[in-house]
Structure 1
Amino acid sequence: MHVPFLYRQLSYVALNVSDLSRSTSFYSDLLGLELSAEQVGESSALRCDTHAASLLLYQADEPGLRRVAFQLASSADLAAAATHFESRGYEIWPIPSEELPFLRVAGGFRLYEPTTRVTFEYFASVMDLGKAYQPTVANIQRLGHVVLRVVDLDGCWEVLERDFGLLSSDFVEDKAVWARCYPNPFHHSLALVKSPENGLHHVNFMVSEIDDIGRARNRLIDAGVDIVFGPGRHKPSGSVFLYFLDPDGMTAEFSFGMEEFPEENAREPRMLENSSTTMDLWGGKPKPTFSSAGVIAGKDR
């Protein structure tokens, strides 16, 4: 196994939303993320761990995925990543200096994933806030993962494995790939699902108790939120899940439990059957609106 640089974690996901105030309230009041910063009328930062941001929301005309950000293991890995991408012919550009105070990172760079045009961001140093994150309506542990809808599944995965250094954990042939960012142990921080068009599939938050799944289901139903899949249990990762729609119809997920990989001698990725029971061992089926909204925002520089 050779990886060109080492990751620490998926740090944050940035979404464009049509009504910033409404979406900020949804993710804070109903889901339990904590508002950590805001630029009035422009953007909000919410967190669910020690970092300043796990989710960024930006006011925009069209809802969708704006950016995916990873923290690398060290400043040396950040430098190695920049050198690696440039050697592969990628254009990289620095995070704009005017954004650094809001993002609370010490600098880094961005680039496009070429098959989807998703903006990826990399940095090594991010501010940990002095006050610990305080769970409210849910015991959120962390931002878990982001999943993309992709037209060219094989081509996109080839790029992410070869150039972005991600490792597959499981796959369904011609359907999906689940990938981890080594040496982070979690089964996946990013996944791809084959689709007629590129877009956001969903954003996941991991909770610390299975009861959080049940409580969230009832709380969201009472608030009129559309539950689109679950509760159920995935075969890949083993997680118990609940999917629901945010105010723009984009899909979010709460999950409990996830397979973790050792740093050395990890198992080989499994080829899983393309069946409904692979996605839900309990036999549930998603609604048609599941993971159907959220464009790729495109240029972010």
Structure 2
Amino acid sequence: MTDRLITHLRHVDLAVPDLARQQDFFTNSWGLRTEHGEPGLSFLAAEGSPEQYVVRLRQSGDKRVDLVAFGAASAADVDALAARLGTDGVTLVTEPGTLQTPGGGYGFRFFDNEGRTVEVSADVAVRAHRRIEEGEPVPVRLSHVVLNSADPEGTRAFYERHLGFALSDTLTHPRMGDMMWFMRINRWHHSVAIARGPHPSLHHLSFELRGLDEYMRGTGKLLRAGVEKIWGPGRHLAGNNTFSYFLDPHGNTVEYTTELEEIDEDTWHPHVYDFTRPEVSDQWGTANAMNEFVASRSFNDVDKGLFVAPPV
């Protein structure tokens, strides 16, 4: 593992054919807030997060992941990481410089091993945010992103070697082998997870709610609104977090969660969990069974943005 220059997950940017419909879902159903906007772009914030936005939406003919963005502690760390990646032969999309997105800052972009565009930035202005109140079923922050990979071992190695991620836990199957790797960049059990899939794509985005009551209220709110639920509510063993998975209007999986585990990195030893054991998928036993149908909904469409940087 390389020295850690990344501090946290900032935002994930999606391109969608129907921007208005996607924005309506994320604001009126999911509970995000439109913080900034311009023609063809919408920047959505989580009420409890200091990040300028946690999701950016872009109108496009192609559905794709535009960007996965991480924070760094300083401009010097941004420069050091860019130099290190360049030396290691990683393709830089942009050189370090001033960002033109809300909150400004200093950052750069590069392609990961499978062609996803990744951004690392520092000195982004802190957004005025608020404490989420008891019983309020809206996201506090973006919790984590899970990526489908056709080369998960290679993707895990890339994020460990180049970005300083560490393995927290692994899910395995007695016949299919290792299937998901939970990767951390700070004390949170995972900010990124890598899932073995048929092609590179978004597996899911996860949003943290205030607590168990707010998580259940949010889950119920979406069910009453007729949003399609894929899996949950339940509680995973790896990460010890709750889960309720839904489909957004473009077929992306999005999750409400809470109580993701914070670990002592000095003493943590990764586990290997057999997810055919029911308690690994759901400690509570309240969720619908994990089966091939449920799993296939998170394979998603082939990402059309691989090795093609977003236009903005």
Question: Normalising by the residue count of structure 1, what TM-score does the alignment of the two structures yield?
Answer: 0.90
Deviations 1:11-43 (A, max 9, x none): 000011121111111111111111111112x11
The equivalences for 1:1-301 within 5 A come to: 2-40=1-39, 42-48=40-46, 49-94=49-94, 100-114=99-113, 116-130=114-128, 132=130, 138-173=137-172, 174-181=178-185, 184-263=186-265, 265-275=266-276, 277=278, 278-283=280-285, 284-286=288-290, 287-288=293-294, 290-296=297-303, 297-298=305-306, 299-300=308-309
Over 3 Å counting, the alpha-carbon distance change for 1:155 and 1:222 in structure 2 is: same
Cα offset, 1:221, TM superposition = 1.9
Please give the alpha-carbon distance, in whole angstroms, between the structure 1 residues aligned to 2:162 and 2:55.
25
Cα distance, 1:90 vs structure 2: 1.2
Shift of 1:133: 7.6
Residues 282-291 or 69-78, more deviating:
282-291
Q: Kindly indicate whether the alpha-carbon contact (under 8 Å) linking 2:138 and 2:218 is maintained by their aligned counterparts in 1.
A: no
Taking a change above 3 Å as real, the CA distance of residues 208 and 131 of structure 1, as seen in their structure-2 partners, is: closer
Contact 2:132 2:210 in 1 (8 A): no
Deviation at 1:51, TM superposition (A): 1.9
Q: Secondary structure in 1 aligned to 2:267?
A: coil
- Sort the Cα spacing of 1:294 and 1:216 in 2 relative to 1 into closer, same or farther, 3 A: farther
Residue 110 of structure 1, CA deviation? 0.7
8 Å Cα contact 2:187/2:264 also seen in 1: yes
* Preserved CA contact (<8 Å) 1:20 1:58: yes
Counterpart amino acid of residue 29 in structure 2: L
2:43 maps to amino acid: A
Partners of 1:251 and 1:95 in 2: CA distance? 32
User: Per the alignment, in what secondary structure is the counterpart of residue 102 of structure 1?
Assistant: coil
Name the stretch that deviates more: 48-57 or 230-239.
48-57
Distance in 2, matches of 1:158 and 1:138, equals: 37
Say if 1:169 and 1:110 are closer, same or farther in 2 by CA, change over 3 A.
Answer: same
What do you get for the CA RMSD once the two structures are aligned? 2.2
Q: Using the TM superposition, give the Cα deviation of residue 3 of structure 1 relative to its aligned residue in structure 2, in angstroms.
A: 3.0
> Retained in 2: the 8 A contact 1:5–1:165?
yes
Judge which range, 43-52 or 286-295, deviates more: 286-295
Q: Secondary structure at the match of 1:281?
A: coil
Letter in 2 for 1:21: A
Q: CA deviation at 1:76?
A: 2.2
* 8 A contact 1:86–1:92 mirrored in 2: yes
- Change over 3 Å in CA distance of 1:72–1:294 after alignment to 2: farther
Gaps of 5+ in 1: none
Write the letter of the residue equivalent to 1:123. S
Shift of 1:163: 1.7
2:175 corresponds in structure 1 to none
Matches of 2:277 and 2:223, distance apart in 1: 24
Alpha-carbon distance between aligned partners in 2 of 1:155 and 1:96, rounded to the nearest angstrom: 26
C-alpha offsets along residues 230-270 of structure 1, whole Å, 9 cap, x if unaligned? Answer: 0011010000111000011110001010111235x131111
Deviations 1:76-113 (A, max 9, x none): 2212211210121112133798x933343322111111
TM-score normalised over the length of structure 2 = 0.87
Q: In structure 2, do the counterparts of structure 1 residues 250 and 266 end up closer, same or farther at CA, with 3 Å as the change threshold? A: same
Q: What's the CA shift for 1:164?
A: 2.0
| CA distance, structure 2, for counterparts of residue 63 and residue 222 of structure 1 | 27
- Cα offsets for 1:157-186 (capped at 9, x unmatched): 1121112211010012421100001xx210
8 Å contact kept, 1:178–1:188: yes
Structure 1, 19-28 or 268-277: larger mean CA deviation? 268-277
Per-residue deviation, 1:131: 5.5
Query: Distance between the aligned counterparts of 2:88 and 2:217, measured in 1?
Result: 47
Distance 1:64 1:93 in 2: 17
Conserved 8 A contact 1:149-1:197: yes
2:205 and 2:170 mapped to 1: Cα distance?
19
Check conservation: 2:26, 2:32, Cα contact below 8 A: yes
| Count of residue pairs brought into register by the alignment | 294
